[in-house]
Structures are given as structure tokens and as C-alpha cells.
Structure 1
Amino acid sequence: MDHDCGCGRAASAAPDASLEFDADGELVVGPVIRPELLTRPCAIGTLDGSWLLELERRTVFGPEVRGALRIEVGTSSLRVSGDMYSRRVFPPVFTEFELERIRPIPFPVPGPIPGPGPEPFAGGGADAADAGEAGDVSEDETPILSEFLPLGLRWYPAFPASEYSWYFRSNGSTYVDGTLTVQIVRHLWNRTTQEFVSTDTGTLTLRCRRPLVVTTASTVLGESQRMTGTLSIGGTVTNVTARKTSPMYRGCRIEVDAMVNRMFPASATIGSGAAATVRSVYAGAGWDVTVVTDEISVPDDADLTNAELATLMSGHRQTVSGESWRLWLFVGSAQGGLFGIMFDDDTVPREGAAGFADVELGNDSFIAAAARGRPLDEVPAAFLRTLVHEAGHAFNLWHPKHDVHNPGIGIEIMNQTGDVMGFATTANPYPGNASFAFSNHDRTSLIHSPDPQVRPGWKNFGWGHGDLSAGLPAPVDVAGLAGDTGDEGLELTVAMPAQAFVGEYVTAEVVLTNVSDQPRTVTTLINLSEGDLVFLHTPPDHSLQHLVDVAIGCGPRPTTVLQPGESIRNHVQVFFTNQGVTFTEPGRHTITAQLEVDAMTTVRSTPMTVDVRGPGSDPEVDISAKTLTPGVGRAIALGDFATDAAARAVLTDLAEQHSDTDTGAAGALVLANALARSFTDVRARDVRAAAPDEAAHFLELALAGRSAERVAALAVTVASPTEKDAPVVADTIAALKSRAKGGARSVAGKDVAAAERIAEDFVEPTGR
């Protein structure tokens, strides 16, 4: 057979032309390169920043695919990542890139020009107008980085989550003579499961040219800030265009509300002597953050509960149109010894955060003399660090010890306050010793992690960190992945039911024991809400979840000394966490506890197996239907139904119809806790008065037919872990003592003593 190739497109190429064929054997044809007069390759630094990446549609009615491209150019590195969104538009709307192919023009179209999808951001457009209506801008709006792009034109491509399609990240790249070639790994997104489901690889090629003679007009118009090229992936080659939108990588609008007479630290002098702001700290991580104060006269309340904070957050934020990223920060009064808290509800994950102005710093020698015993908002550097840290949690940054990639413990922003204080000395005291910068690991996550992982309100806290099937993990070094750092002298155990049905209230007892022959100083934060304890949950599908409370608090780490043979313990609820109801899937589940004992020590328990089945009787079916009702799990986690009348009604039915079960008793105790105190909705100026008689009624339902020790264990699990003064705990102990004093046969003195120890361990675990 004659194999003459003297015909067709390949043969028509010049003899020395470089030919490329795709996976199907088809000749790869790149974009039409029009004559470029008096141009030269762009300097590599030109690539640094945020770009709008658009793919040319293959047919008129094909999907519109566009998204954010982030190119980070370092002194000796180049990283590329992006998030792509697709939609079908009828009638089709052509991009400028596609119009150019229809209507040839000699030079690139000026850019960047905000398209019809995302709105302008940071200093111009819709957000600027909103800031003017809402209140004064708290921080300087001038550009942080010197760049030819006018501030009003800077924006960050953001699109509806419902249109999310795929994420990609560089796996090697070159930049030669103005051509950027990136080998990418693409992670495809399933919109139904809201997870990445598969990966493939491809090549992104972009060509950057700039005028040989740069004029003021061409600089402002950004003629050199447009690249064209191809994306070769999935067996096809698609023409693409990229328009630079900012010299930074991502942006977010932070709305700040404050309680009356509490001060938001707009600026603080840090240890280096420089002035820092929320904006400047995030600029160090390549983020363009705009801080806008909305209301600074939220009515005074000396001690907000988690339920009140959650209600305030969900109802107090401004309603702002568009898809630009936004976060809510609240400057509140106090909640025990916490410095701050971040809410991670399963319905609106990482919704917002709060810092507590009234909590006082200690009098330790490692705290600066001028800061000792002072409220946090009177120490601007400490309060600023707290707010930036809590905002970091809302952007899905973890404490280093909980991150599977094993970053180091230090003094950077996302380290726990207790750890930073641990590095302080009399000569270099807190907060002056704190670094107002993100670690390299956290900075990379802020810039390059997928949108679902970083954007507030999308995936739950921890997604993409501990679950290696979700998101794209950062490279790990020779230390490997985080896990046991090992301490044979400490033993962590978890006791919980071996069987449960879907919808049943499940609790666990966590015990840390000193099995060595030497005293050990350990954390007392044996709960899922204050940063040291995490449950690792493996459901039947073999994925991995980090379980924490719906409210994650941060503050100094209290410690205690465990003598040889002594233990500290606490009871926690595992029914409803930041992931929602834990055991919704029948099958075999495993739970492993991971506790950060101190700054350098992590211990894990032996995995516990829980076999979960469907409800098998009429009462179980009814219980399951009630506990799985929206709002009920959240009320159980917060220990209060807040303003949710529907959840209150379901809890009432659950308590009155099934008080003979622990699940019914838990519902009764939530009602007893909520009705024993008033509830304030500061937004609506409504107050739910305490109803002590109703609270006593539900407490009696929980006490009936139950041992003192068991009812105390249930009481401390329905109380929010950060609310050490939750009324249900004290009321339960008081009721048990009263019964014992009255000679009730079901309550013996030793049983009450055991119940009292459980209540004491809820407030402050002590070695025994």
C-alpha cells in the first residue's frame, strides 16, 4: 500500500513544522495567530495574578466555560491553578475572544473588562456602592501592590456554585519566549454529590506578547494583559483566552458588625513596629480583602450564647447581590475564655466568625506587661490576630496540627493562641512575638485550593484537608502525612455504642490516661468545639470526614497535670456535627479520636466500630423521622432551638412521646436548657423570656427511669461545649441532689457523686 502523505492538513505544513496530534490521532490546530506588529514576549512577572480564563465554544449552542486562572510567579517558582464553571446560555452570548475570530482585528482587545457573570470588586462597581450605603470603609482602599491596572478595574472571577465544573492545578510548566506551557491535572466535579469524582491530565498553552513601545494608553488599556492559546484535554483541543483581572489572586469582602462599645481593631502595631490591618495581613497571602463596617451599635449583651450568635449572624448580614466572595465578622462581648469562634453549620458551612472583646488576657510573665489582665479589644495586636485567625477558619484553614499535610507548629496566623503563647518569653512576650503572616502551607492553600474548599458558605470546615479524596492535597515533604507523633506514656480511648439506628442520639466518652511513671502536662479541652479534639469518621463508603462541633472556638489552652495512672475525661455528642447527622447511612462506621495533647504531641485512639441499621420498630421509625427533621440536629448541637418554632415543636413531641429512650431524653434536655434562660434576637429586638416551669417539666421527663450518672452524661452532651455555664448541667445536678435528699430510691449518694464528677469534667476536666 502506498503510504504517501502528500495530501491533507498535515502534508500542507512546512517541512520543518512542529506537528502535534491528540489522543484520537487528529492533528492539533492551534489558534489563529494574527500578525503582531512591534511586539515582544512578556516578562514572566507579567503573568503573576488573577486571570479570567475563557474557552471557545465548539458549537454556537455549546456550553459557556469560563473561570478563574491564578498564576503565582515566585523568585524560583511558578504555580498555576484554576476553577472552571460552565453553563448553557440561550440565546448564545459570544465572548470578546469569540467575536475576534468572527471579526479579525489587528491588536488584542483592551482588558481586563468585567464580563456579564461576575461583578466588579474591591474599590469599584457594586461593592463600592454597597460600602458607601452601608457605612464607612474601615481600612484604606488604596492598592496594596503597585500595578498598572487601575483599582476600579480589579476583580476576581466568581460564578454561581451551581455552575462549578472542574478544578485544575499545574503539574510542571515552562515559560519560553512568551509561551507558557502548563501540564495540568484536572479534577472533575459532580454537581449532584458535590464532590470531585475523577481526574485526567492535559496541557494548557498560553502566549503572552506586549507592545515593543509601551505608551501610557497601552499600559492603562492593558494590551499586554491578554493571552491566547489552547487547552488540550479529554482528547480535544480548545482555543482559550485569558484576561488579567488583578495582580493579586483572590478577593473577599468582609463585613464587620460590632456590639456597642466594642472596638474593631482597624489597625494595630505589631511586634516589628509596623502597622498591620486585616487587609494588609491577607495581602501578604495574595488576597485582596475589603473590610466594610456595617453596624457598630449591636445592642449590648455581656454573654451571648452560641444560639444567639448563630441567629445574629444568619439574620444580621447585609444582603449583597452578585457572586463576589464575602464573609461576616462580628465583634462581640464574651463567651467564657474563648478569644473567637467560627460557625460551621451543615446548611451554610463556614458562614461567619466572631471575636470576643471582653475576654481578658492572663497575667503570665510571657504576656506583655501592658496587656496583662486587659480585655482583648484593649490590646489591638492580640485582637487583630484573633479576627484574622477566625477569618482564616472561615476560609477553611485549620490549625497546623489538624492538617493532614503535617505543616510545622509555629507563631504564624493559623497556629492556636496557646501554641503562640508557648513560644513567647519574658524578653519576647505575647502578642509581640506573634507573626502576622500565614505559613507557606496556608498561603498556598489560600491561593491555589479549589473554590469549594476555600469560598465561605460552600464545603464544610476541614474538607480538602483530612479527606484526601476531596479537593487536591498540597505536596507533602519527607515527613509524610500527619498522624501520631507518638507518646507511649499517654493513652486515648473512646467508648460509644457498638450499634445504633439511623436517627438515634449517640454519645461518646473520651478518656486520656497517663500510663507512664512520670507526671504529664496535658490539655483539658476534651471536646469537639475548642480545637484540640477531632473525631475521624469513616462511613461505609470508606471516605474520611473530620467531625467537629458546629461552632469552633479558639483561645488559650488550659492545661492540667496528670499524675501516673490518672485520667481526664468528658462526654461528647456524636449525633450532629459540622457534617450534619453523623450516622445517616446504614452499614459499618468507624470513629477514631485524635487529640492534640500539647504543641508537639498528637495521640489517637484505637478505632471504634459502630454498626448502623435502619429503624426497626414503629417507635424507632418515629424517632428517626423526628431527629432527621431539619433544624432538630442543629438545636441539639447548640443546646437551644433559638427562633426555630418548628424544631421546638418536634423536640417537644420527641421528649413527651419517647422519654423512655436516650434520644427522647436528649430532646427533653435541649428544651430544659433553652427554656431555663432567656433568648435574645438582637436583630429583631425580640426576647424569649425564660420559662422555668416548662424547663422543669422537661427535666423531669429526662430524669424519669434513668440513673443519675446517665442523665448527667446526657446533660453535658446537649450543652454546647463552649458554654460552661449552660443551665441544663447545673439544673440536672441540683435536681439529682434534691431527689437524693428526699430519699428517692432511684438516686443514691454515690450515683449523685458520679454525676457531679461528670458535670465538673464538662466545665474543667481534672485528673483522677
Structure 2
Amino acid sequence: MYDGTLRVECHNAGRTASGDLYQRTVRILTLPPIDPIPPLVPIPPFDPVPVPPGPVENPGSMSDFGPLLPILSGAPNPANGIPILRRSRYRYYVRVTSLPELFYRGAGFTLGFELWRYTAPNGWALESTLSARMIRMAAPTGYPSPSDYAEGDVKNATGSVVGRLTMGWLSPYYRRCSVEIDTVSGSEQPTTDAAGHTWQSVMDELGWQVDVRLSDTNVAEPSGDSWSDAEMHAAMLASRDAVNLDREWRYHVLAVKNIDSTPRGIMYDAAGTDSNNVPREGIGIPSHWTIDPGWGTVSGQRFGTASAPYFRTAIHEIGHALGLVHNFADFGFMCTSDVIAAGGTPSNPFPNNIQWSYHTDNLKQLRHYPDPFVRPGAVAFGGASSTTPAITPTDLEVDVDGLALVVTPLLGEVPIGAPVRVGIGLVNRSAQPMRVPPISA
């Protein structure tokens, strides 16, 4: 049995959906052996035969321990919202290939999907192509929205029933995480651009539920005010609040005065720096770097006092912790600060030209990548891919049997170049009612 989430994104072109499945834990309970029924006739006493020292032949079998009873662990409580499940139990990426875009017929709909089997550390294989005819019904007790619930049999390509799928609405967010911020004494906490953008607003637009924790402000400096990547990693392990990544997706931000390896910021938790072999847990950002000339209105300022580029850099580095790489298609979060600064103009100088959003490709990745690509402590940085497994498709249109768009001209003929008046109607030619979006003139 599997638990997980199905993320359904509604946009102006329809819906895009993906999901992840974790295998539920099965515990084996050993029952005590059942004593044989005592005989009705007493057995006379006898003298035991001495057993010589040495190995014992046939010391026993599983039957000596009684029957084994498999116990399936409980499902996540839907009242608690988006579940966080153990990394070691991850099994499948659910690539949804078909679902109702804007409407569906009657009380049911058909969901088509592929299951991509995951093998650690980063192996993927298409295991099955399935479909489920989902029927809406009242949700069991505990679901936040009693009317948003459906169940259906899962069938393989030959039409054989291979399982049962249940789904119920949990949250308006796709995923959830927390961000803990520690600083050394004298470094600013990167929390806002001072113009309305915050962790909450950025993550809300992304569709992630976030809990921001402002923690220590006096992390000790191990060797002066400039830090190596390894020192930042060690400080994260020593100073952050207790965390279990199998129960919480926690990302750590450490603000220091300067960084040895880079002037602006780094997601240090990769490769040789990752001493505990738990990838993508933390980032570092330097508050005392003096901003280069040519960086618009913030040239020459100390980085921590320039709220917009300082906070944007923290968002950028957390993007790397989420598995993203640089993206120079726009001036969004995954573009680098030097490129954005160079793109400033006299009428729109840096940092005013910062785009406070993710590029559409990055939005899709953060919403629909498999969990191991984005959650901390899973696939190493650089391992995320949109092709292995193939990320869920962005559905743009759908054919609906029985529904027809009828366009009728008011006049049979009109002069060339003259405006044409037409009547437009959406006609249901099926035998069942169909839900459609409202049509306005």
C-alpha cells in the first residue's frame, strides 16, 4: 500500500498534475507459540537422556515461535495537511498524462498516469501505464473538504484491475517546507526586500507552504569573519534547531560576514563539502561584501544593507537547495545577480530591474519535479532532470466527446473586409449533463 500526494495545478490552459508515492511500512508481529493440548491420559515419568556437549542438530524452526502477523502502519492524517513521508520509503513518481481540463461528465472522470520506479541514489524506470475511473463521493471523516473526494479502480493497459486509488483535497499548496535563518553577530537576516517581498510572498506565488524560523543571531566564527564552505556546513550542523528530514523539509540559511569561495552567496551543501552525505540542506550569504561598481543604485553599499539584492540572493541560493540550476532566460530568481545588474538601464537600474518570480520552467519544476529532486537530503545537487523521469506534461487542450462548438453567421454573405456577426454556442450532444466553465460575451 502506498501514500502520497497528487499536485493539481490549475492555469489558463487547463490543468497539470503530478504526484509521488511512498510505500507504507509493514511491521511483522510474532505471536507467541500455541501450546499443544495436554493429553487426556497421564504420561508416566521418565528419566531424561543426558545430552553430550557440542552443536545441537535441528535447533528449531519458525514454527517454534508461533505465527507471523503482518501489521500495516497507519495512513497520514488528512486533517494535518500535506504529509511529509520518510525518504527511504519513496517508490514512485506519478506522471499524470490525462485528466479533465476544465470540465467532466457526470460524477466521474478518468485519470491517466505513468508510474516511474525510483531506485536510490537517482535511478528511474517507467514501470507501468495505468488509468483510473474516479467517482466522486463524500470524503471520510478528517478530510478538510468533504465534497472534494474520489475513489476508483486502477487498471493496466489490458484493462485488468490492479489496485484502488483514493484521493481527497488536503491543501491549496503543492508542497510545504520550513526555512531556518541563523546569523553571526553583526550580519542581517535576509527576510525582505523592504518593498513588500518576503519569504511568505515568494513561496505563496510558488505554491509552497512555508514556515520561516528566525533563529540564532550569534553563531560563533571559527576562524575570523571569512568562512569556508566546510565551516558553514559544520556551523549548520552545530547551530540549527533539531530537525528530522523525514518529518520536515527544512532548509537552512546562514548569514556570515564574508565567504572565501564567492563574494555573494553559495549553496555549499554539495559534493565534498557535504560531510554528512545529506545533500542540499543549507546555504550561506555574506552580509559584509562591498557591492561592485556598476551595480546601479546599490554600488558601493555593504551587501547586508542593500535589502533587495541581499534578500534576492538568499532566494536564489535556496533555489539551488531546491535542486534548480542557473536560468538566464529572464531576470528571475535563478538568474545571477551580476547578469541582472549588467542588464540595468538608466531608466530601470539595478536592483529595480529584478524580476521577483521564478521563470515558468522553474515554476513547473518546483511544482512537478519528483520529491527526491527538491526535498532536502535526497538526490544530490545537479541530479534533477526534466527528462529522467519525464516531467508531467503541461496539458494545453482536450477533446471532449459529445461537446461541440457551433458557430453560425448572421448573414450568408458579406462584402470583403466588412465585419461579420456570428452566433457562438456550446452544444451538449451526449446523453448526460456535462460541467463546463461559464461562458460570457
TM over 0.5: yes
Task: Give the partner amino acid of 1:299.
Answer: A
**2:398 match:** none
| Partners of 1:280 and 1:162 in 2: CA distance | 32
Deviation at 1:240, TM superposition (A): 2.0
**2:414 match:** none
The match for 1:310 among 230, 233, 255 is 233
The verdict on how the C-alpha distance between 1:79 and 1:441 changes in structure 2, with shifts beyond 3 A counting, is: same
Deviation at 1:93, TM superposition (A): 4.2
**1:621 match:** none
- 2:276 is the alignment partner of 1:350: no
| Partners of 1:74 and 1:210 in 2: CA distance | 26
The verdict on how the C-alpha distance between 1:243 and 1:284 changes in structure 2, with shifts beyond 3 A counting, is: same
| Partners of 2:133 and 2:194 in 1: CA distance | 45
**2:167 match:** 242
The match for 2:253 among 329, 339, 349 is 329
Deviation at 1:414, TM superposition (A): 0.6
| Partners of 1:248 and 1:463 in 2: CA distance | 25
Task: Give the partner amino acid of 1:454.
Answer: V
| Partners of 1:288 and 1:398 in 2: CA distance | 22
User: Do the aligned residues in 1 keep the contact of 2:143 with 2:169 (CA within 8 Å)?
Assistant: no
Q: TM-score, normalised by structure 2?
A: 0.70
| Partners of 1:154 and 1:436 in 2: CA distance | 31
The match for 2:90 among 157, 164, 179 is 164
Deviation at 1:283, TM superposition (A): 1.2
The match for 2:312 among 370, 381, 385 is 385
Tell me the secondary structure at the aligned position of residue 458 of structure 1: coil
Q: Which has the higher helix share?
A: 1
**2:115 match:** 186
Task: Give the partner amino acid of 1:243.
Answer: G
| Partners of 2:165 and 2:142 in 1: CA distance | 23
The verdict on how the C-alpha distance between 1:182 and 1:422 changes in structure 2, with shifts beyond 3 A counting, is: farther
The verdict on how the C-alpha distance between 1:241 and 1:198 changes in structure 2, with shifts beyond 3 A counting, is: closer
Tell me the secondary structure at the aligned position of residue 362 of structure 2: helix
| Partners of 2:176 and 2:144 in 1: CA distance | 22
Q: Deviations over 1:445-490 (max 9, x none)?
A: 1111001111111111121338x4x3334669xxxxxxxxxxxxxx
**1:201 match:** 129
Tell me the secondary structure at the aligned position of residue 323 of structure 1: coil
| Partners of 2:392 and 2:303 in 1: CA distance | 35
**2:389 match:** 471
- 2:359 is the alignment partner of 1:442: no
Deviation at 1:310, TM superposition (A): 2.1
- 2:326 is the alignment partner of 1:399: yes
Tell me the secondary structure at the aligned position of residue 217 of structure 2: coil
| Partners of 1:269 and 1:182 in 2: CA distance | 44
Task: Give the partner amino acid of 1:304.
Answer: W
**2:190 match:** 265
- Which structure 2 residues correspond to residues 421-570 of structure 1 after superposition, within 5 A? 421-465=341-385, 468=387, 470-473=388-391
Structure with the bigger RCO (C-alpha within 8 Å, sep 6+) is 2
- Which structure 2 residues correspond to residues 90-239 of structure 1 after superposition, within 5 A? 90=27, 91-93=70-72, 114=77, 153=79, 155-174=81-100, 175-176=103-104, 177-191=106-120, 194-208=122-136, 222-233=145-156, 235-239=160-164
User: Do the aligned residues in 1 keep the contact of 2:96 with 2:392 (CA within 8 Å)?
Assistant: no
| Partners of 2:183 and 2:109 in 1: CA distance | 47
**1:78 match:** 15
| Partners of 1:89 and 1:444 in 2: CA distance | 34
User: Do the aligned residues in 1 keep the contact of 2:17 with 2:392 (CA within 8 Å)?
Assistant: no
| Partners of 1:252 and 1:279 in 2: CA distance | 11
| Partners of 2:220 and 2:24 in 1: CA distance | 44
| Partners of 1:204 and 1:344 in 2: CA distance | 40
The verdict on how the C-alpha distance between 1:471 and 1:259 changes in structure 2, with shifts beyond 3 A counting, is: farther
The verdict on how the C-alpha distance between 1:306 and 1:358 changes in structure 2, with shifts beyond 3 A counting, is: same
The match for 2:5 among 68, 83, 88 is 68
| Partners of 2:145 and 2:301 in 1: CA distance | 51
| Partners of 2:175 and 2:149 in 1: CA distance | 18
Task: Give the partner amino acid of 1:280.
Answer: S
**1:297 match:** 218
| Partners of 1:172 and 1:226 in 2: CA distance | 18
**2:263 match:** 338
- Which structure 2 residues correspond to residues 5-24 of structure 1 after superposition, within 5 A? none
Deviation at 1:194, TM superposition (A): 4.3
| Partners of 1:264 and 1:432 in 2: CA distance | 21
Deviation at 1:221, TM superposition (A): 5.2
Q: Deviations over 1:370-403 (max 9, x none)?
A: x2211111011111100011001000011125xx
Q: Deviations over 1:97-120 (max 9, x none)?
A: xxxxxxxxxxxxxxxx726xxxxx
Deviation at 1:266, TM superposition (A): 2.4
User: Do the aligned residues in 1 keep the contact of 2:182 with 2:217 (CA within 8 Å)?
Assistant: yes
RMSD of the TM alignment (CA)?
2.6
Deviation at 1:77, TM superposition (A): 1.8
| Partners of 1:359 and 1:329 in 2: CA distance | 17
Task: Give the partner amino acid of 1:250.
Answer: R
Task: Give the partner amino acid of 1:285.
Answer: L
The match for 1:284 among 200, 205, 222 is 205
The verdict on how the C-alpha distance between 1:65 and 1:269 changes in structure 2, with shifts beyond 3 A counting, is: same
Tell me the secondary structure at the aligned position of residue 444 of structure 1: helix
Q: Which runs of 5+ in 1 are unaligned?
A: 1-63, 97-112, 116-152, 212-217, 402-408, 477-768
Deviation at 1:220, TM superposition (A): 9.3
| Partners of 2:342 and 2:293 in 1: CA distance | 14
User: Do the aligned residues in 2 keep the contact of 1:169 with 1:185 (CA within 8 Å)?
Assistant: yes
Bigger shift: 319-328 or 72-81?
319-328
Deviation at 1:94, TM superposition (A): 7.6
Q: TM-score, normalised by structure 1?
A: 0.41
| Partners of 1:198 and 1:237 in 2: CA distance | 16
Q: Deviations over 1:42-85 (max 9, x none)?
A: xxxxxxxxxxxxxxxxxxxxxx3111111111222211111101
